[in-house]
Amino acid sequence: MPSADQIRSDIAALVPRLRRFARALTGQVADADDVVQTAVERALMRLDQFEPGTRLEAWLYSIVRNAWIDEARSRQRRAKVFAPAELGEQVGDDAAATAHARLEAGEVWAAMRRLPEEQREAVALVCVEGFAYREAADALGVPIGTLTSRLARGREALQRMLGETT
Amino acid sequence: MSVSDEELMAFADGELDAQRRAIIQAAVEADEALQRRVEAHRRMRTKLADAFSGVLSEDMPARLRAAAAGEAQSAEVVQLGARRSARWSMREWGAMGASLAAGWLIAVGLFTSTTPALKTDGDGLVASGVLSRALDTQLASDEAGAVRVGLSFRAQSGDYCRTFSLTQNDVSGLACRERQSWRVLVTAREQNAGEVRMASAPAIMDSVDQIIEGEPLDAEAERQARDRGWR
């Protein structure tokens, strides 16, 4: 069984991925980092609740996701968070990317923000974070069939929004 | 053969068991429309992954490093300093805007008491009174009175800088040696734990990150710098 110190250092190593997941969930840089900060602090306070033998990632991702749900609910700021006007600010963040890549990423971000929450989190876990369906379903606490159906609807909607026809 | 979109998606994602995979594989090979749908699923997945992959190589904000190191939001600057590791980004002095909200500093009495801890000059804020004395002489290991001194370090400019908190006002800040005085570059108000928004200690640490050269001074180097008058 890993020591608490080992788990702490594993958590620290996962922070960049948690940021990416939170970015996909929130569509917003500052909110994403707020959510990750809250989640990491919660995780460290509740290390005793982590079940050894289960995947640390899945545990952390579910904490991030719950932190986002709390955040969005408590502040009732979804309307603001998902305002299209914020797009430029987010897209401009990645100075290294080429203009074209930024444009494309911006379109994807915008489309993601328009998905219903439950579809967005399924898409974020599987397509952005590379979770297997089973892992994603566990992290979200839903049956795998539910996960698959949300994922399919989310991707279908994204394909429509991003002009990908089949 | 008709294939549901969910099953086709699962096929594209490599999520089917061997038996179903073989069946769908055969169907896809026989049907160009199905092939296009599988490819569209895979393209979408790649596009989504690419759109967010840049996040992984971004600099980590100091507040997240602090959180991952176990620093609660209301953590004292001194603790942050003791545990912080390598600096992640190097920016210019000029990038640091004055994050000073004079209104609340006045509200907590830092200017207006008979022995103010801060005063203004033509260029901004300088330490005064008890704060100035503490920055001159107090070590991080000393028992805190009205001022607790956190970490000390050399800035890229070569000047010594120190973080501090005013224990009675819940204000923390960063000051750098300038000739005979301490110029206060940043101040922040401590916040209660449990708030989601960034609290002061991480805000101060962000500023430290921007100007520090190398690592913070250890206790011995801090003492030597103090004994040399921070020159």
3 state SS of A41: helix
Instruction: Answer yes or no: do B51 and B63 share one domain.
Output: no
ipTM of the complex: 0.79
DSSP string, B180-221: TEEEEEEEEE---TT-SS--HHHHHHHHHHHHB-SS---HHH
Q: Cα–Cα distance between A108 and A114 in angstroms, integer?
A: 10
CB-neighbour burial class of residue B50 (10 A; exposed 0-12, middle 13-18, buried 19+): middle
Flag if B57 and A96 touch (Cβ within 8 Å). Answer: yes
Instruction: Answer yes or no: do B41 and B67 share one domain.
Output: no
B146's tokens: 């009205």
Instruction: Answer yes or no: do B68 and B37 share one domain.
Output: no
Domain that holds residue B35: 5-55
Using alpha carbons only, what angle is made at residue B140 by residues B59 and B71, rounded to the nearest 5 degrees? Answer: 40
Instruction: Answer yes or no: do B148 and B39 share one domain.
Output: no
Backbone φ and ψ of A153, nearest 5°: -70, -40
- Sorted by where each starts, the structural domains of chain A and their CATH numbers stand as 1-82 (1.10.1740.10)
B184-231 pLDDT per residue, tens: 888 777 654 433 333 346 667 777 877 888 878 888 899 999 999 998
Q: Cα–Cα distance between A60 and A37 in angstroms, integer?
A: 12
A65's tokens: 């996701």
Q: Cα–Cα distance between B189 and A89 in angstroms, integer?
A: 27
pLDDT of residue B9: 96
Instruction: Answer yes or no: do B99 and B179 share one domain.
Output: yes
Instruction: Answer yes or no: do B46 and B122 share one domain.
Output: no
Residues 6 or more apart from A95 whose CB is under 8 A from it?
Answer: none
Flag if B5 and A156 touch (Cβ within 8 Å). Answer: yes
A24-71 pLDDT per residue, tens: 998 888 889 989 999 998 898 888 888 877 788 889 999 999 888 877
Which spans in B116-173 are helix H? 129-137
Instruction: Answer yes or no: do B92 and B20 share one domain.
Output: no
How many domains does one find in chain B? 2
Instruction: Answer yes or no: do B69 and B181 share one domain.
Output: yes
Cross-strand partners of B10 = none
Instruction: Answer yes or no: do B64 and B48 share one domain.
Output: no
pLDDT of residue A165: 55
Which spans in chain B are helix H? 5-12, 18-29, 32-53, 62-68, 77-83, 102-107, 129-137, 200-211, 219-227
Looking at chain A, which residue has its C-alpha nearest residue B73?
Answer: A41
B13-54 pLDDT per residue, tens: 999 999 999 999 999 999 999 999 999 999 999 999 999 998
How far does A152 lie from chain B, in Å, by closest CA?
6
B48's tokens: 């989504």
Flag if A16 and B55 touch (Cβ within 8 Å). Answer: yes
Q: Are strands B160-166 and B171-178 parallel, antiparallel or unpaired?
A: antiparallel
Looking at chain B, which residue has its C-alpha nearest residue A94?
Answer: B54
pLDDT of residue A73: 65
Instruction: Answer yes or no: do B30 and B100 share one domain.
Output: no
pLDDT of residue B191: 53
CB-neighbour burial class of residue A141 (10 A; exposed 0-12, middle 13-18, buried 19+): exposed
On the CB side of B208, how many CA atoms lie within 13 Å of its CA?
35
Interchain CB contacts (distance < 8 Å): A and B: 114
Domain edge (last residue) among B39, B55, B71 = B55
**Low pLDDT (below 50) residues in chain A:** 76-98, 166
Using alpha carbons only, what angle is made at residue B53 by residues B50 and B56, rounded to the nearest 5 degrees? Answer: 175
Instruction: Answer yes or no: do B21 and B80 share one domain.
Output: no
In 3D space, the residue among A59, A40, A41 whose CA is nearest the CA of residue A2 turns out to be A59
What size, in residues, is chain A?
A: 166
Instruction: Answer yes or no: do B24 and B87 share one domain.
Output: no
